[in-house]
Amino acid sequence: MDVSSAILEAVEKTSTEKKISCPEARKLAEELKVSPKLIREAANKLKIKIIACELGCF
């Protein structure tokens, strides 16, 4: 899956200490109008861990 540099930048900016919470990731996906899977792919590429997962989306 190809992840744009804008999405990578947004995920990196939202993360704290190489972590992003599930609610933050879902909110970011909504704001960027992309699927949560794309946010997961960006996080994986950036070696950012998604924490506090609520629904198993990631």
Residue-wise pLDDT tens digits, 3-49 = 999 999 999 999 999 999 999 999 999 999 999 999 999 999 999 99
The token pair that represents 56 in the structure block: 């198993």
Using DSSP, state whether 21 is helix, strand or coil.
strand
Report domain extents, the chain.
5-51
pLDDT, residue 23, reads: 92
Q: Is the pLDDT of residue 58 over 70?
A: no
- Beta carbons within 8 Å of 41's beta carbon, 6+ residues apart: 1, 3
What per-residue confidence (pLDDT) applies to 53? 81
DSSP state of 58: -
Q: Is the pLDDT assigned to residue 1 strictly greater than 90?
A: no
